[in-house]
Amino acid sequence: MSDSEEKYQQRMAKKKALVDERIAQAQEERGIVILLKGNGKGKSSSALGTMARSLGYGKKCAVIQFIKGRNETGEQKFFKDHPLVDWHVMGHGFTWETQDKSQDIAAAQKAWALAEKLLQDDRYDFLLFDEMSYMFKYEYLEVEPVVQALKSRPKMQNVMITGRTMAIPLQEVADTISTVQDDKHAFRQGVKAQEGIEF
Ligand code: ATP
Ligand code: MG
């Protein structure tokens, strides 16, 4: 074996020992709260990818879309009839087009009432609250009851919440937080939003 090969092997063995040690230390088994935030593209699609991963193991999932965007999206078409997925869109829906605040608040509260129920139901393994963070930003919902419900949810239940900005109390209760950074987006180069990519 050459010198450099030997050095390489030593370095890799050291790395493996470190990784093995870390794996041995992470022994707790429980569900987690994952937040995906930031201005870049990829939050909702990543959360849905994680849901697909859970579905692969036969886990029961639910999605609540707190902001109703388009009438239909590719993900909704794909997942809504899946036997293990409950897909909910918030009421008639808060959209960027509605201008009726009291109607939006009522819809947000209805969606939260449903979310709260799911957070008490241990039949659900995976919950996605898509774009929920806007509800706190616009003060349609209070964050404290959400934090309490997250804290007292079933032990193995995993929850993902997406949205560009995330309320601080949610960040405190979360286990994993990833920020998707907007380095570049085709929209700013004048590329039209396309099915299968944007919706
Ligand atoms: P995706 O659903 O593609 O994962 P996202 O959930 O990270 O995106 P949102 O903030 O929910 O992003 O915005 C939803 C829509 O806006 C999507 O159609 C997405 O492609 C688009 N979008 C996301 N980020 C940007 C951006 N930085 N500039 C322009 N459009 C964006
Ligand atoms: Mg999104």
Ligand 2 centroid vs 7 CA: distance in angstroms? Answer: 46
Note the pLDDT of residue 95: 60
Question: In the chain, what are the domains?
Answer: 31-189 (3.40.50.300)
Note the pLDDT of residue 102: 85
Is the C-beta atom of 43 inside 6 A of ligand 1? Answer: yes
Note the pLDDT of residue 98: 63
Tens of pLDDT, residues 53-103 = 999 999 999 999 998 777 789 999 999 999 999 999 986 655 666 668 888
Is the C-beta atom of 179 inside 6 A of ligand 1? Answer: no
Tens of pLDDT, residues 168-192 = 999 999 999 999 999 999 999 999 9
Residues 6+ apart with CB under 8 A from 7: none
Is the C-beta atom of 41 inside 6 A of ligand 1? Answer: yes
The span from the CA of 73 to the CA of 177, in Å, is 25
Classify each residue of 108-143 as buried b or exposed e, where b means 16 or more C-beta atoms within 10 Å of its C-beta. beebbebbeebbeeeebbbbbbbbbbbbbeeebbeb
Note the pLDDT of residue 70: 73
Tokens linked to 166: 């995330």
The span from the CA of 44 to the CA of 34, in Å, is 12
Ligand 2 centroid vs 116 CA: distance in angstroms? Answer: 21
**SS3 string of 69-124?**
CCCCCHHHHHHCCCCCEEEEECCCCCCCCCCCHHHHHHHHHHHHHHHHHHCCCCCC
Is the C-beta atom of 45 inside 6 A of ligand 1? Answer: yes
Note the pLDDT of residue 1: 78
Q: Cβ distance 163 to 141 under 8 Å?
A: no
